[in-house]
Amino acid sequence: MSDNASGPAAAPAPELLEELRREQRMGGAGTEDAARSIPVIDLSEGVHSQAEIDDLLWDAAENHGFFQLVGHGFGAAELDRAFAMAQAFFELPREVKQQYPLREASNAGWEYMAQVRPSTGTADHKESYQVTRPRMDGLWPDDEELAGFREAMLLFEAKAWRLAMRVLSSFARKLGFADDFFTAAHDPSSPRYQSTLRLLHYFGSEGGDTPGGQWRAGAHTDFDCLTLLFQRDGQGGLQVCPGKERESGAWTPVPPDSARITCNIGDMLMRWSDDQLRSTLHRVRMPLAGEDAGDRYTLAFFAQANCDQLIRGPQEKYPPILARDYLNQRIGANFAALQAHDDAS
């Protein structure tokens, strides 16, 4: 899922509050460590055996939490079309987009500068539109407003789902689950499916690196199992802070390359793997002086287990919990942390 849903706020678990406190400490600028890089893994046929791919993905997920895929099967023209469609959506008049407002508890619809991160206490400088298949009633622009949008987005979502399931099946094997364990847990034919495709648009030029920290997206971890992020050449700003570097506040830039798909582990898979795989803090900073201060567009697919799936790690480090309850706890912890932010300021 994306990380902005609201909804019934359950009592936050102590480990979640601690995570949020850590995120709040990471709200400051920190430093950039461009020497550190994140792994790039080639999925092309004939390059690595499946066993090697399993090892490479596991190592990247365990030690970095972030990695990039090439040879993933998405062609340049197909990506160009999806981004052109996303851009066309954001270019619709505001009155049109306002007809399809984000239903926060559903992770579906359009929001504008509405996502406040506990790490910063301020709204991200962006607008976004989320597609969560079973929750889209009344949220699609019609063909007169934007011809072909719905079909294009559903096609793209399905292809992103397939790639996400391929990566998750590698993790399933390593965790001692059946190959199709996570595929069944993210079944798109179920009304309880809750994986989400999110189109993001960060605004150009009004930027500048505002002291005190105004972020295109404030530091956070994702709530889901696995996120696939599609970026565009030259539209940079994404940074990650691997777990063991957290206290140092040193951030690694993630190269914006249209041909690579960036992946990161979310909190749900961290729990499902008994903390063997790590969700990783990331954020999108404003362009610095001298950098391209134009718009940034990204597409993100959040693979998030269906509501009714039981999350139970192989070693049962944590008590089993339904995906729905886990998310409500995580959302509740976010609210509590935002409240603490307000109280402190």
The neighbour count for residue 108, using CB atoms within 10 Å, is 25
Query: Residue 245 in contact with residue 282, Cβ under 8 Å?
Result: no
Residue 298 binds ligand AKG, judged by CB under 6 A: yes
* Greatest Cα pair distance in the chain: 56
Q: CB within 8 A of 200, min separation 6: which ones? A: 126, 127, 128, 296, 297, 298, 299, 300
Query: C-beta of 192: minimal distance to ligand AKG in Å?
Result: 22
Interface pick for ligand AKG out of 26, 200, 286, 327 (rule CB under 6 A): 200
Residue 60 binds ligand AKG, judged by CB under 6 A: no
Closest CA relative to residue 265, chosen from 70, 18, 62, 41: 62
Count of all residues that appear for the chain in the document: 345
Query: Residue 310 in contact with residue 322, Cβ under 8 Å?
Result: yes
Q: Is 261 helix (H, G, I), strand (E, B) or coil?
A: strand
Which CB atom, from 3 or from 57, has the smaller least distance to ligand AKG? Answer: 3
Judged by CB under 5 A, the stretch of 11-19, 138-146, 217-225, 234-242 that binds Fe ion is 217-225
Q: Is 224 helix (H, G, I), strand (E, B) or coil?
A: coil
Q: CB within 8 A of 345, min separation 6: which ones? A: 121
Which CB atom, from 220 or from 341, has the smaller least distance to Fe ion? Answer: 220
The site partner of 238 among ligand AKG, Fe ion, none (C-beta below 5 to 8 Å per kind) is ligand AKG
Find the residue with minimal CB distance to Fe ion.
222
Residue 168 binds ligand AKG, judged by CB under 6 A: no
Query: C-beta of 196: minimal distance to ligand AKG in Å?
Result: 10
The site partner of 337 among ligand AKG, Fe ion, none (C-beta below 5 to 8 Å per kind) is none
Residue 67 bridge partners (DSSP): 263
Residues in contact with ligand AKG, total (CB under 6 A)?
Answer: 12
Residue 2 binds ligand AKG, judged by CB under 6 A: yes
The site partner of 298 among ligand AKG, Fe ion, none (C-beta below 5 to 8 Å per kind) is ligand AKG
The phi-psi region of residue 4 (left if phi > 0; otherwise alpha if psi is between -120 and 50; otherwise beta) is alpha
Interface pick for Fe ion out of 222, 240, 286, 323 (rule CB under 5 A): 222
Which 216-255 positions form the footprint of ligand AKG (CB under 6 A)?
A: 217, 222, 229, 238
Which residues of the chain form contacts with Fe ion (CB under 5 A)? 222
Which residues of the chain form contacts with ligand AKG (CB under 6 A)? 2-3, 198, 200, 217, 222, 229, 238, 282, 284, 298, 300
